[in-house]
Amino acid sequence: MSESRTIRVGALTRVEGEGALHVSLNNNVIDRVELNIYESPRFFEAFLRGRPLEDVPDLTARICGICPVAYQMSSACAIEAALEIEIPTEIHQLRKLLYCGEWIESHCLHMHLLQAPDFFGYSSGLELGKHFPDEIKRGLRLKKIGNQILEVLGGRSVHPVNVCIGGFYRTPALDELQSLIPELEWGLQAAIETTHWISGFNFPDFVCNYDLISISNSSEYPWFGDTMGSSKGESFDVKEYEQVICEYQVPHSTALQAHKIESQTSCLFGPLARINHSRDNFHPNARELADRVNIQWPCNNPFQSILARGLEVVHAFEEALEICRNYQRPSESRIPYQPRAAVGMAATEAPRGTLFHRYEIDDAGLIQHATIIPPTSQNQKQIENDLRDYLPPLLSMEDDQVAQACERLIRSYDPCISCATHFLKLSIERVE
């Protein structure tokens, strides 16, 4: 006799956005694992058509309030590539600084308020803060410094207003950037302490066989770059992105998924990919810490992404300090250009992984076509595959415990489900 059992657990929490997970079991054997992203489609790629190219960084920022800089950077770089605008080094450094602010803000939010509570069984960062007041206060102050960078360079931390095609509307005065230095110095030490604290967490023993993909530069840890690298040893030019990775739609999720076209296999983007490929390009403190913390390289344990984020925060503070200390205000804040019909693409490393944009522009400088591939849709298939591997030893537990364990794993990828809008409920269906 076959018995069917369905268990529903409330919304997946402490992720940005909402969605659902559906697991179905047949005689205790996993049948389907489906991450359902119940997105309210917002149609960015459609309404971008016909807009002046100048609007694109402000509009695409509104895809995600957690990583607006990533959207501004990928879109500006793609349009600049189309128009062959060369960004001078000093302006490029300021953009990197802006990105440092976003990584610090986003990573510290995830580490302290979203993921850390899982390692202690608390329901929120605020509750965790009652037991670890110093650590959480330190984390919030680190996060705040990320926001301060965004405010100095962009006016505000969510949807900053200063990025434009060709550079910035206004570059900061010397004293504005120098005013950040004392907090950045404190932040560097504090980020090192935070990473040590996290390295003492009790990580589930779960190692995956990943095909990790990120921008890979020969000489610097990636925010920007033209070459993609994979842990399978392949590399490809960002211009070939859509020949290597494609998005497709599945009935159970309204966010598009992605896989490698040739092998139809999933891959993982984000901090684990970057750190495995590029930690040799870390600044000295981050580099040294990466060897000292309790981690086996290459690291293929998704639960340890939180440690990779900690190390990236240390690196971002060092980078930010270097940029602020060496800053000289450029004579021009942006490079002039003439619009013309062209196609351009670019990828940058959002906190959660590679964010690819491609635009077709007409002679008048209006957008004809836009393609945006965000990291979370590229990670979705991999998350499902990992859940499939993670679940079997847990199946003897009560359903609510299985659900909690799945939530913990999903949270470790820091899925930005809000790069679309979603509703995540977990349901487990058992047919016995």
Partner 1 sequence: MPEKLRLGIFKFASCDGCQLSLLNAEEELLELAELVEFAHFPEASSRIDSGPYDLVLIEGSISTPEDLDRIQQIRRQTDTLVTIGACATAGGIQALRNGANHDEFMKLVYPHPEYLQSLATSTPISNHVSVDFELRGCPVDTGQLLQIISDKLHHRKFSVPDHSVCRDCKLQNIVCVSVARGIPCLGPLTQAGCGAICPRFHRGCYGCFGPCHQTNTDGLTDWLIKDGHASAELIPLFLNVNAEAPEFARTGAQLKRQDSAEGESDE
**Could you tell me which residues are annotated as the binding site for Fe cation?**
67, 419
Q: Which residue has the tokens 């950077």?
A: 73
Strands 29-36 and 20-26: antiparallel
Among 6, 27, 40, 401, binds partner 1 (CB under 8 A): 40
Q: Does 161 bind ligand SF4 (CB under 6 A)?
A: yes
What DSSP line would sit under 329-365, residue for residue?
--S-SB------SEEEEEEEEETTEEEEEEEEE-TTS
Which range in 108-116, 123-131, 153-161, 391-399 contacts ligand SF4 by CB under 6 A?
153-161
Among 256, 272, 350, 405, binds partner 1 (CB under 8 A): 256
What DSSP line would sit under 188-245, residue for residue?
HHHHHHHHHHHHTS----------BEEE--SSS-SSB-SEEEETTS-EEEGGGHHHHE
Binding-site annotation: residue ranges = 45, 64, 67, 372, 416, 419, 422
Closest approach, Cβ 238 to ligand SF4, in A, equals: 28
Q: Compute, in degrees rounded to 10, the torsion defined by CA atoms 311, 317, 318, 324.
A: 160
Site for partner 1 in 259-298 (CB under 8 A): none
Q: Which does 45 bind (CB under 5 to 8 A by kind): ligand SF4, partner 1, none?
A: partner 1
Site for partner 1 in 68-107 (CB under 8 A): 68
* Nearer Cβ to ligand SF4 (158/246): 158
Please, what is the angle between helix 305-325 and helix 89-108, to 10°? Answer: 140
Q: Which residue is nearest to ligand SF4 (CB)?
A: 62
3 state SS of 427: strand
Q: Does 401 bind partner 1 (CB under 8 A)?
A: no
Half-sphere exposure of 177 (CA within 13 A, CB side): 20
Site for ligand SF4 in 49-68 (CB under 6 A): 62, 65
Among 5, 10, 185, 261, binds partner 1 (CB under 8 A): 10
Tokens of residue 96, six digits: 């990197």
Please, what is the angle between helix 89-108 and helix 68-82, to 10°? Answer: 150
The residues that touch partner 1, with contacts defined as CB under 8 A, are: 10-18, 40-47, 49, 51-52, 55, 58-59, 62-66, 68, 109, 113-114, 117, 123-127, 129, 136-137, 140-141, 143-144, 147, 154-159, 161-162, 164, 168-170, 248-249, 251, 254, 256, 333, 407, 418, 421
The residues that touch ligand SF4, with contacts defined as CB under 6 A, are: 62, 65, 158-159, 161
